Amino acid sequence: MDRIPLEKKVLSENDRVAARLRDRFREHGILCLNLISSPGAGKTTLLELTLGRLPKEARVAVLTGDIQTDNDARRLARFGFPARQITTGGACHLDARMVERALADWQLENLDLLIIENVGNLVCPSSYDLGEAAKIVLLSVPEGEDKPLKYPAIFLKSELLVLNKIDLLPYVSFDMARAREHARSIHPGMEILEVSCTTGEGLDQWIQWIKKRGEILRAETAKLPTLGR
């Protein structure tokens, strides 16, 4: 069997499992977000600050993917919410089967928000549906404003672009206007937030985006019985 049919078979199986996950998330009213970036863009730090701003009674959990180590899960578990590491052992992305296995013994009825921190990579994760309600791509300013043009698939498939580490703008060559222009040339309807995990700028808007997206999901889910589901 050559490479293309095998790849199609793998992705087809992944989509089948992802659809099952999506149905389960909708059944329980869970907003699932898939956070994607290159290594070092600041995903884990953003999640630390996010969890730190949420009320202790919030029904939130995190899955975090990495090729090796459980460092990120240990960092996030400090905030008292369920956090589990998925160690891929070499794979450059998470897939739906990995997520399904990681959730096997979790009580989904006790969750409102599930955040998946994908493996650091702007290429492979764009091909794998994890059953999420939205993909979010994180781009830090030291990476350069041309990343949407170099890695268009993930920007096309992401609902939100978070431009991170904006506190470094005085020290790096990064054109914010061109970054926005490049991103919207790939995905015209993309929402864009500017954030600094160092100064806290933009974090309130990030939290509000999550809350708003959760409200949209709940409204959509409430309509499902009228659609014959």
- Residue 178 confidence (pLDDT) above 50: yes
Radius of gyration of the chain (CA): 17
User: What's the confidence (pLDDT) of residue 6?
Assistant: 53
Per-domain residue ranges of the chain? 3-224
- Residue 10 confidence (pLDDT) above 80: no
CATH number of the domain at 3-224, please?
Answer: 3.40.50.300
User: Cα 146 vs. chain centroid, distance in angstroms?
Assistant: 21
Q: 221: pLDDT confidence band, cut at 50, 70 and 90?
A: confident
User: What's the confidence (pLDDT) of residue 229?
Assistant: 32
Q: From start to end of 82-174, where are the E strands?
A: 83-87, 113-117, 134-140, 158-164
CA distance 112 to 227: 23
| Of residues 4, 16, 116, 127, the one with CA closest to residue 66 | 116
pLDDT in tens, 117-171: 999 999 999 999 999 999 999 999 999 999 999 999 999 999 999 999 999 999 9
**Average per-residue pLDDT in the chain?**
93
pLDDT in tens, 66-113: 988 889 999 999 999 999 999 998 899 999 999 999 999 999 999 999
Is the overall model pTM greater than 0.85, yes or no? yes
CA distance 85 to 55: 23
> Residue type for 81, please?
F
Q: 228: pLDDT confidence band, cut at 50, 70 and 90?
A: very low
